[in-house]
C-alpha cells in the first residue's frame, strides 16, 4: 500500500533536514535568548558554503585574496589577474559530518583567458550538494522507497581587465533543488541568479618592501525567489554582499606572508518577530507581507528592516580574518577565524589549512574547529585539487 502522507520515519528525516537548513547557516547557542535570536532564513544555504580548501583554510576568505583557479566562487573578476592562461579545479567537502555521514558537496570550476594580452576570461563552475538517501514509508511505517534530495547549480562568468589594476565580472547562474518525496506536497524548485564583482590589484611600498594590495567585492545570487510547492510559497535565495582586502608582502626572496579580511552581509530581509503588544492577526499579516516581498525589493529592504534597528543590522554583518604563508610559492600554511553574531546564527570557528603546488597541479586541504558551543560544523574537512592547463601542455611537449 502506498500513501501520499509520509510516515513517522520520513517525518524524522524531514526534521533532520530542516535542522540542517538552519544549522548550515546557524548553530544556535543555548544561552542566547529565544526572543532576540533572529537568524535570516534563506533557500539553498549550500550556495554559501566555501567549496575550496584554500579559502576555507583562511576562515572562508577569498573575495580579495591573490587570484587562483578557485576564484569562481569568491570573485570571478580575479581571473584576468591569474598567472596561467587556463585551469580547472575540483573539490570535495563532507558536510555536517558530526550529525550524518552522507551529506557532501562536490564542486568543479575552470577558467580560460583569451583576447589581446589575455585581458578577458571565461569561467564556469558546477556545484552538486547531496543530502544523502532518505527512506520514505507509509503511515504504517512500512518501507516505500528511497529518495535522494539534492541541490544543483551551474554558472558561467565573463570577466575583463578594464585597466592596469582593475577588473570586473558578471556571472549568470541556474539553480535547481529537488526535495521531492513522491507525493504531491513537494516539487522541484528552479531559480536564476547573477553576480556582479570587481577586483583591484596594485603594489605599494611598505618600508623597503613592495607589497601587493588586493581589494574586491562581490554581490552574489541576485535573482528570483524559489518555490518547492508549485509556487504557493517561495523563499529568498542567499543574496549576499561580500567585500574584502588582502595584503601580501615578501619576507625574503622565498618567503611570503599575506593577511586578508572579509566582511559579508545577506541581502535578504529580516523576518518579523512577534512583539509583546501585537495581536496574532497583526503578526500574521506582517508575515504574509514578508512573504510577498520581491527578491529585488528584499535586497534594498535588507539594509534597514531589522526589528532591533541599527544595532541588529550590525549583528547581521559577518566577518573573517585569515593569513597565508608561502615558501618558494610551493608550500603554503594557512589559518583564519570566522565570526557570526550569536543572535544571527553563531557560526564562529577557527580554520587551518595547507597546500602544495608546482607548475602542473595544486592540492589544498582545510580543517575547521568550532569556537562556539555545540556547533555541527566542527571538524569539517575540505579537499581541493587544481590543474594548470599550460603546465600540462608544457609537460607533454
Name the E strands within the chain. Answer: 86-94, 104-114, 120-130, 134-137, 143-147, 150-161, 166-178, 189-206, 209-223, 240-252, 255-266, 317-327, 331-339, 348-357, 361-370, 381-388
Cα-based distances in Å from 14 to 22, 133, 148, 180, 356: 13, 12, 12, 11, 41
Q: What is the pLDDT of residue 7?
A: 38
Comparing CA positions, the residue from 199, 196, 194 lying closest to residue 167 is: 199
pTM, entire model: 0.86
Q: What is the pLDDT of residue 12?
A: 39
Q: Which residues contact 385 (CB under 8 A, 6 or more apart)?
A: 89, 90, 91, 361, 362, 363, 364
- Structural domains of the chain, ranges and CATH numbers in brackets: 8-268+318-396 (2.40.160.40)
In the prediction, which pLDDT does 352 show? Answer: 96
- pLDDT 10s digit of each residue in the chain, 397 long? 233 333 334 443 443 444 444 444 444 444 455 556 788 889 898 899 999 999 999 999 999 999 999 999 999 999 999 988 999 999 998 887 777 777 889 999 999 999 888 899 999 999 999 887 766 655 566 555 677 788 999 999 999 999 999 999 999 999 999 887 665 577 888 999 999 999 999 999 887 888 999 999 999 999 999 988 877 888 999 999 999 999 999 998 899 999 999 999 999 998 887 777 778 788 888 888 888 899 899 999 999 888 888 888 899 999 999 999 999 989 999 999 999 998 888 889 999 999 999 989 999 999 999 887 766 677 888 999 999 988 888 878 7
Amino acid at each position: 500500500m502506498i500513501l501520499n502522507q509520509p510516515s513517522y520515519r520520513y517525518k524524522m528525516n524531514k526534521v533532520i533536514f530542516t535542522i540542517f537548513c538552519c544549522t548550515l547557516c546557524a548553530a544556535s547557542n543555548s544561552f542566547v535568548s529565544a526572543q532576540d535570536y533572529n537568524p535570516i532564513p534563506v533557500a539553498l544555504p549550500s550556495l554559501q558554503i566555501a567549496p575550496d580548501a584554500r579559502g576555507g583554510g583562511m576562515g572562508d576568505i577569498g573575495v580579495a585574496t591573490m587570484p587562483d583557479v578557485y576564484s569562481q566562487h569568491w570573485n570571478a573578476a580575479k581571473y584576468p589577474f591569474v598567472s596561467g592562461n587556463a585551469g580547472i579545479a575540483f573539490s570535495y567537502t563532507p558536510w555536517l559530518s558530526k550529525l550524518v555521514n552522507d551529506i557532501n558537496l562536490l564542486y568543479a570550476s575552470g577558467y580560460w583567458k583569451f583576447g589581446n594580452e589575455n585581458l578577458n576570461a571565461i569561467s564556469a563552475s558546477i556545484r552538486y550538494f547531496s543530502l544523502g538517501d532518505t527512506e520514505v514509508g507509509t503511515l504504517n511505517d512500512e518501507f516505500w522507497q528511497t529518495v535522494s534530495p539534492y541541490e544543483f547549480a551551474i554558472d558561467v562568468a565573463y570577466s575583463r581587465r578594464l585597466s592596469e589594476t582593475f577588473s570586473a565580472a558578471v556571472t549568470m547562474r541556474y539553480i535547481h533543488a529537488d526535495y521531492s518525496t513522491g507525493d504531491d506536497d513537494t516539487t522541484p524548485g528552479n531559480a536564476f541568479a547573477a553576480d556582479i564583482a570587481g577586483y583591484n590589484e596594485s603594489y605599494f611600498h611598505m618600508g623597503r618592501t613592495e607589497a601587493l594590495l588586493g581589494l574586491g567585492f562581490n554581490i552574489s545570487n541576485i535573482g528570483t525567489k524559489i518555490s518547492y510547492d508549485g509556487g504557493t510559497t517561495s523563499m529568498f535565495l542567499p543574496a549576499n554582499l561580500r567585500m574584502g582586502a588582502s595584503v601580501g608582502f615578501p619576507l625574503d626572496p622565498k618567503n611570503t606572508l599575506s593577511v586578508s579580511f572579509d566582511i559579508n552581509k545577506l541581502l535578504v530581509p529580516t523576518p518579523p518577530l512577534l512583539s509583546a503588544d501585537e495581536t496574532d492577526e497583526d503578526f500574521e499579516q506582517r508575515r504574509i507581507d514578508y512573504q510577498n516581498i520581491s527578491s529585488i525589493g528584499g535586497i534594498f529592504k535588507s539594509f534597514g528592516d531589522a526589528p532591533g534597528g541599527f544595532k541588529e543590522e550590525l549583528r547581521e554583518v559577518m566577518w573573517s580574518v585569515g593569513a597565508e604563508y608561502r615558501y618558494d610559492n610551493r608550500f603554503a600554511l594557512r589559518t583564519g577565524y570566522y565570526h557570526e553574531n550569536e543572535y544571527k546564527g553563531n557560526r564562529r570557528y577557527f580554520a587551518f589549512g595547507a597546500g602544495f603546488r608546482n607548475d602542473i597541479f595544486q592540492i589544498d586541504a582545510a580543517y575547521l574547529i568550532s569556537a562556539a558551543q555545540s556547533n555541527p560544523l566542527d571538524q569539517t574537512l575540505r579537499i581541493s585539487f587544481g590543474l594548470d592547463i599550460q603546465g600540462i601542455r608544457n609537460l607533454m611537449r
